[in-house]
């Protein structure tokens, strides 16, 4: 499989970046961690904006950095989106996009102006100047400009960090659309669990300049030893398909490996692919199915592992679901009190029911 292999050792006073990673050359790889963990430094090394004292970078079979080679940034086929849009204030939106098109190499299968405008929904903004745009609009133009450079790799450094919540919610669907429609690997820096849940295919947890966990989103988030404490955001993301829409009750049934859940109808078409986020705090456990409960979703599960949580009175429980063929399915993580774990007699290998309120599923 084509990969992005990155090994860097870089020292600054009071900080050292020391990573050795292989990222998939498809989908969205998210570098996730708290401020100062080394996410942006790693991204800048990949872009060639910082030169590590020791480093190797191989991108889809091409050597961008080695002991003998250092490809300067302008020769790396990348698009880079910063936290701030950094548009040319004296040019219109169209002028900013044309500037990128002129810098692009001649690539027959690259993103065209019309495609970029459609992807980011900026057709009505083309004649405006950057000063006339909202923060979310500016960032959408910046992303379109990065695409028109015809990159083979798109780097995004916390592109939503400078936006308030309404603008952030405005731009996330465009990022999801970009991910679905473009065959372009993306490395995305974020410290926000909600962005990770919606965009990541592959997750790298960064801490103190090191990659302390890496893997697929589903596997990584369901680990009880995930090194970055997520607190109230602890939980899993399930890849599913809309199987049914119940119009009378405004609910939708989403099927995934190992089960299905009812949740609020978001208007997605039958058979469309969706992501379902289930937080650990929203899963209760029972030894027997509850017939007289308001909780609609009850999934048969097996306890895989139990560990202590951040608070001494709480525990995290990793649960395995089985798919319809009896093979390995998805995983859930439930947060319960240690008292409840004791009263239920929770232990690895135990079969029980995971109960999920429909109103809690995101």
pLDDT digit string, tens, across residues 174-233: 999 999 999 899 999 999 999 999 999 999 999 999 999 999 999 999 999 988 888 888
Contacts of 320 (CB under 8 A, 6+ apart): 258, 301, 302, 304, 328, 329, 331
Residue 324's pLDDT is 56
Q: Judging by DSSP bridges, how do beta strands 202-207 and 28-32 pair with one another?
A: parallel
CA torsion 307-18-156-32 (nearest 10°) is 10
Question: Residue 335 and residue 313: Cα distance in Å, rounded?
Answer: 11
Q: Is the pLDDT of residue 235 over 90?
A: yes
Question: Are 275 and 198 in contact, with CB atoms under 8 Å apart?
Answer: yes
Q: Which CATH architecture describes the domain 3-221?
A: 3-Layer(aba) Sandwich (3.40)
9 or 322, higher pLDDT: 9
> Coil, helix or strand for 93?
helix
Mean pLDDT of the chain: 92
Average the pLDDT over 72-87 and give the result.
92
Question: Are 233 and 250 in contact, with CB atoms under 8 Å apart?
Answer: no
Q: What percent of the chain has pLDDT over 90?
A: 82
Residue 261's pLDDT is 95
Q: Is the pLDDT of residue 327 over 60?
A: no
Q: Is the pLDDT of residue 311 over 70?
A: yes
Average the pLDDT over 45-54 and give the result.
94
- CATH code for the domain defined by 235-360: 2.40.50.100
Integer angstrom CA distances of residue 218 from 31, 196, 212, 232, 264 = 15, 11, 16, 18, 22
Domain boundaries, the chain: 3-221, 235-360
Average the pLDDT over 243-256 and give the result.
95
Question: Residue 253 and residue 202: Cα distance in Å, rounded?
Answer: 26
63: left (phi over 0), alpha (psi -120 to 50) or beta: beta
Residue 335's pLDDT is 96
Q: What percent of the chain has pLDDT over 70?
A: 97
């Amino acid at each position: 499989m084509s990969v992005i292999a990155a090994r860097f050792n870089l020292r600054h006073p009071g900080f050292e970046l020391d990573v050795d990673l292989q990222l998939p050359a498809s989908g969205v790889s998210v570098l996730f961690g708290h401020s100062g963990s080394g996410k942006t430094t790693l991204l800048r090394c990949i872009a060639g904006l910082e030169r590590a004292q020791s480093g190797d970078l191989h991108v889809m079979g091409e050597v961008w950095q080695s002991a003998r080679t250092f490809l300067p940034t302008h020769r790396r086929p990348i698009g880079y989106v910063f936290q701030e849009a950094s548009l040319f204030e004296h040019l219109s939106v169209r002028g900013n996009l044309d500037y990128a098109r002129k810098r692009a190499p001649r690539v027959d299968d690259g993103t065209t102006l019309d495609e970029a405008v459609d992807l980011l929904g900026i057709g009505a903004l083309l004649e405006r100047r950057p000063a006339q745009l909202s923060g979310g609009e500016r960032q959408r133009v910046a992303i379109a400009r990065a695409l028109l450079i015809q990159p083979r790799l798109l780097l995004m450094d916390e592109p939503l960090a400078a936006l308030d919540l309404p603008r952030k919610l405005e731009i996330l669907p465009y990022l999801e659309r970009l991910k679905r429609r473009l065959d372009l690997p993306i490395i995305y820096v974020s410290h926000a669990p909600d962005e990770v849940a919606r965009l990541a295919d592959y997750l790298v947890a960064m801490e103190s300049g090191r990659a302390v966990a890496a893997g697929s989103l589903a596997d990584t988030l369901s680990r009880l030893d995930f090194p970055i404490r997520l607190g109230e955001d602890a939980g899993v993301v399930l890849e599913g398909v809309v199987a049914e829409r119940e119009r009378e009750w405004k609910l939708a049934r989403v099927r995934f490996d190992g089960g299905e859940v009812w949740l609020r109808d978001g208007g997605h078409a039958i058979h469309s692919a969706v992501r379902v986020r289930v937080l650990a705090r929203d899963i209760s456990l029972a030894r027997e199915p509850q017939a007289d409960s308001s909780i609609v979703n009850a999934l048969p599960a097996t306890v895989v592992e139990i560990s202590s949580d951040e608070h001494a009175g709480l525990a995290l429980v990793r649960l395995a679901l089985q798919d319809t063929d009896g093979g390995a399915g998805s995983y859930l993580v439930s947060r319960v009190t240690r008292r409840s774990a004791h009263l239920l007699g929770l232990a690895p290998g135990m079969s029980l029911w995971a109960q999920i309120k429909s109103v809690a599923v995101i």
